[in-house]
Each structure stands twice: as C-alpha cells, then as structure tokens.
Amino acid sequence: MNDIKKITVLEKVFPDNCSGCRLCQAICSFEHEGSFAPWLARIIVIEKDFRETTPHTCNLCEEPVCIACCPFDALSKSSENGTIILDEKNCTGCGRCVRECQYKAIVFDDERMIPLICNLCGGNPKCVDVCPRGVLSLSNKT
C-alpha cells in the first residue's frame, strides 16, 4: 500500500497558517451533503481559546483503531485507497469510533446517528483544493 495518499496538514507560519475560515468544512459538507453544514464535514477544524485553529483529517492508519474498536463490524478499509468505509446497516450509532480516533478525525452526525469519515472525495479532495492558505495537501503516506 505504498501509493496510499492522505491529506496532510502542513505546519505553516504567518500569513499561511490555518486561519479558521472553515472553507474546507463548507465545501466538504457541500460535496457530501449537498448543503452547507460545517458540522457535517469530514474534516474537523478545532479552535482553541478563540485563537488558533487546527484542521483534523483522517490519518488512514495502517491498523485503524476505529475499525478495531467497532463492536458491530460496521467499518472496513477500502482496498483501493485505504479510506474507511461505513456499512450503515451494521452501525448502531454508538459513537465509539468517534471517541477512539486519536486524530479526532471522525465526526458524528447527530441527526442520522452515524459517523462521517473522509473518503478523499474519490481522490480529488475538495478541501485541499479550496484551502486559501495552502494548509492542506494530498501526499503519499509514508
């Protein structure tokens, strides 16, 4: 799985640090939900003390904790690009994967009671494209 790509959050300095604009979240929710709803984005921008903001993205772990921790085998790994796939009919909405992900990269949809996980938009991540500060990049997972 050498050519697995993931979204990397680059450490950047002024004026190219993450500004907290949430355009990545707006476009992600638009891509996947057809509406603007940053809380349903598969990229999570966390703000600290009203100041710094950090985007959290799926790490595409080799041995994903989310898959392992799911009591209902609702999660699996795509053999194609290593992203995490949810089998909705098995998911009970317990939220365990969300809590266990150390990258804080899974969001829980309170409405449908399911986790939302990045699928790299089929290889052309919209968030990477939109980020005005160039904070996000799609790069080889090493």
Query: Site residues for another protein, window 103-132 (CB under 8 A)?
Result: 110-111, 130, 132
Three-state SS for 97?
Answer: helix
Instruction: Please provide residue 124's backbone torsions phi and psi, each rounded to the nearest 5 degrees.
Output: -130, 75
Binding positions for another protein, 3-22, rule CB under 8 A = 14-17, 19-22
Look at residue 47 and give the partner it binds from another protein, ligand SF4, none, a contact being a CB closer than 5 to 8 Å depending on partner kind: another protein
Footprint (CB under 6 A) of ligand SF4, residues 63-92 = 70, 72, 74-75, 86, 91-92
- The C-alpha angle 23, 27, 28, rounded to 5 degrees, equals 115
Residues 46, 53: Cα–Cα separation, whole Å:
5
* Residue 107 DSSP SS3: strand
For residue 29, which amino acid is it?
S
Tokens coding 2: 């050498």
Binding site for ligand SF4 (CB under 6 A): 7, 18-24, 27-28, 31, 41-43, 45, 53, 55, 57, 70, 72, 74-75, 86, 91-97, 115, 118-121, 125-127, 130-131, 133, 135-136
Binding site for another protein (CB under 8 A): 14-17, 19-23, 26-27, 29-30, 33-40, 46-52, 110-111, 130, 132-133
